[in-house]
Chain A
Amino acid sequence: MMPMLDLENISHSYNEERAILSNVSLKIMAGEFISILGPSGSGKSTLLRIISGLEKQTSGKVKLNNNIVSDDNYHSPPEKRNLGLVVQDKSLFPHLNVLRNVTFGIRGKKDRDNIGKDLLKLFKVDQHEKKFPNELSGGEQQRVALARSLAPKPNILLLDEPFSALDDDLKEELYLETKKIIQDKKMTVLMVTHDKNEADIFSDKIIFLENGRIK
């Protein structure tokens, strides 16, 4: 079986003195949920930015669905990779209402509103579809961000500390709901976190990253 994501010897640095990532290699099979656990500054978020195409690695190869999306000679931009990304600060579009945020990434489909509404229902925020992001609580915003990332049916969902800004009660509630949705949709997920409990709840496999190297 071909891996959904294949990272080969990814290294990255902003200057010669300090490497952010050193020879990171990783394979994720379809339907797997893998968490990368590590302290702040270990290079976790940089790795997600490289996979999503927001940053180009200094050396190494990124393959998605067995296609090279980035190596020394080629770099496919994020909009061409069909990925989902949820980050800690949610980054919802402030000028679009909840439904328009969720359907933003769906191109050329007549039933995009229905797809959006179904996802909002799934994440229990369908009653807020006409509201704008600033009218939602932190937890509701994160549900919308998760719904938005799933709307274009991405090959892989990348989660960058998606629950860290939420309080503990809300976290527990959202953990269970998100895990169920991801399992039902058989999503391939790569999550970075510094929370061991979070990684334990979700993951099929946990990888430790320290000083830019896999331990």
Chain B
Amino acid sequence: MNRITNINFWILFPAIVFVFFLMPLVAVLSSLFGEYSDNWNHLYNFVLFDYLRNSAVLVFGVSVLTLIIGTGTAWLVSNFNFFGKRFFEWALILPLSIPPYILAYTFTGLFDSYGTLNNLVRNIFELEQSYIFFPNIRNIFGAIIVFSFTLYPYIYLVARSAFLNQSRSTLESGRILGLNRFEISFKLAMPMIRPAIIGGLMLVIMETLSDFGAVEHFAIPTFTTGIFRTWYGMGDLLTAMQLSSFLLILVAIFLLIENKSRRNAGFVSDSSTHSPIQIERLNSRYSALAFVFCSIPLLVGFILPTSELIIWAIYYNPSFFDDRFLDAALNTITLAVVAAVLCSMTALLINFSVRINKNKILRLLSSFLSIGYALPGLILAVGIVQTTTFIDSNLLNKSSLALTGSLFGLVLAYIIKSYALSNNTISSGMEKISIGIDNSARVLKSSGWNLLGSIHFPLLKTSFFTSILLVISEVVKELPATLILRPFNFDTLAVSTYIYAAEERMRDAAAPSIAIILVGLIPIIIITRMIRSSRDKGAM
């Protein structure tokens, strides 16, 4: 029974971090208790119901499509042997490296009336220039396709893991009780992994609601575009914050469902009695069908957009090394590395603090810090602007905007948004270090910084660097918070891509988009290694 008898760094540090994470949230939510301006009349009469309807249609459409693609592909690669299965196991995650806004930009280039694919069809079949084969993609249905084909890996990953963790004996009991192979899948296997799938689905929904770049490009009025327009178009920050609060409450509901699903995800067998599921070989007809089914998401979500980007980059715009690209790349990588190192160090210090203090409040506080991943970047940006303005005008020099105009807010936003990634990586690494090691070190007069530096950090090096890589790839993709919080004239790769696309210069967006995707491949490589190592063990 360790009690905290005195305040020290290991107590103070998590408390300070907690305050920094809490301030933007409080700043946004406090707007609910402020005045409601006349702009609410305009919102209520003209756009609010559009925001609600479009957000609901998007969420519904994306949910249905991601469930079909994510669960279907996971079911196939986990339960059957077919041509290309080993390739699809990891390749199906590749679309995760493409942020929805980049897929939206490339789809515009591919499917526009005079885009690459329509031109191709006209040329092949020698059709008239006015003939349009592929329909217009810049609408809500196009957005549903864009989100579904970039976000389905969230469901694929959890569903695959849950399928692999199912017990063979449970499924065999079903066979003995008279169910055929497909009844086993639909009456036993699918219901058993339902909590895991719901958890993945909630992540998909939160990402869909949080997106700004893709819906803005397709000109679909949703909550996020509404917040942006209210703030920058109407110049009404308070109303924008009130809108943000409603979206935040909505996201919080999905976050609660996701947490509950994660706790219930244990319909799978426990490890002590686990026997891996039996993999069946499909005959050639079914094998071909499985191959086609798994190829579609890979083709639409990765191969098509990357091919288009590569073609643009090679044939139209070899701008990889112009000043604008190099400046944006340097800014991005500097910001990403700084944010990733700070975020990983924060997660390391807080996890270490929780470990040595064994304090329930600290543990709770540490779990609270992980909710940042669910916060839409736009809302986070709104909250941080409010916070830095408050600090500037009340605590620092009133006449200057020392914090508001600096990179401080941007780095803080990245840390808050990516903390969950660092925390998960480092805490799972720390759990593998036996508590006996700590005890031995403490008896040998090692504690605090010495214990962290000489024992924990060397043992956590891999987790620490994995965390840095994961955060870098997350930061490089982040658009809405960067767009709002960046200092004047400070472009990143994501911002460059957004600006080019907003100016309808899709081909110019190719170079920064490819760079973002290449960095986005880092976590895919890490996950692929995990999948490979799990293949022999039968679970991931």
Contact = CB atoms under 8 A, between A and B. Distances in A.
A91 B437 contact: yes
A87 B444 CA distance: 13
A87 B436 contact: yes
A91 B1 CA distance: 21
B446 A104 contact: yes
A92 to B, nearest CB: 8
Q: How large is the interface on A (under 10, 10 to 19, 20 to 34, 35 or more residues)?
A: 20 to 34
Nearest to A107: B445
From B434, B440, B447, name the one whose CB has the most chain A CB atoms within 10 angstroms.
B440
B135 interface: no
A95 B436 contact: no
B446 A79 contact: yes
B229 interface: no
Given A56-B3, A89-B436, A91-B437, A78 B443 contact: yes
B437 A58 contact: no
B454 A104 contact: yes
A55 interface: yes
B138 to A, nearest CB: 55
A58 B3 CA distance: 11
A75 B443 CA distance: 14
Given A91-B437, A93-B455, A104-B454, A79 B442 contact: yes
B436 A91 contact: yes
A89 B444 contact: no
Interface string A36-72: 0000000000000000111110100000000000000
Contacts of B2: 55-56
A84 interface: yes
A79 B445 contact: yes
B15 interface: no
Interface in B435-478: 436-437, 439-447, 454-455, 458-459
From A52, A77, A89, A148, name the one whose CB has the most chain B CB atoms within 10 angstroms.
A77
Contacts of A75: 5
Contact of A95 (B3, B440, B458): B458
B443 A84 contact: yes
B445 A152 contact: yes
Given A79-B446, A104-B454, A85 B440 contact: yes
A80 B445 CA distance: 6
A86 B208 CA distance: 54
Contact of B1 (A52, A55, A81, A85): A55
A88 B134 CA distance: 70
A104 B444 contact: yes
A157 B443 CA distance: 11
Nearest to B445: A79
Nearest to B434: A91
B361 to A, nearest CB: 18
Given A56-B1, A58-B1, A104-B454, A95 B459 contact: yes
Interface string A18-31: 00000000000000
A79 B1 contact: no
A109 B459 CA distance: 25
Given A56-B2, A58-B1, A75-B5, A91 B439 contact: yes
Contacts of B3: 56
A58 B2 CA distance: 11
From A52, A92, A95, A148, name the one whose CB has the most chain B CB atoms within 10 angstroms.
A95
A105 B454 CA distance: 11
Contacts of A84: 443
A69 to B, nearest CB: 13
A86 to B, nearest CB: 9
Contact of A83 (B443, B447, B458): B443
Interface in B1-28: 1-3, 5
Interface of A: 14, 52-56, 58, 75, 77-85, 87, 89, 91-95, 104-105, 107, 145, 148-149, 152
Given A56-B2, A78-B443, A149-B444, 10 more contacts: A54-B439, A75-B5, A78-B439, A79-B442, A80-B445, A84-B443, A91-B439, A95-B459, A104-B454, A148-B444
26 contacts: A52-B439, A54-B443, A56-B1, A56-B2, A75-B5, A78-B447, A79-B443, A79-B444, A79-B446, A79-B447, A81-B443, A83-B443, A85-B439, A85-B440, A89-B436, A91-B434, A91-B436, A91-B437, A92-B440, A93-B440, A95-B455, A104-B441, A104-B446, A148-B444, A149-B443, A149-B444
The 8 closest A-B pairs by CB, nearest first: A105-B444, A91-B436, A91-B440, A78-B442, A85-B443, A79-B447, A79-B445, A95-B458
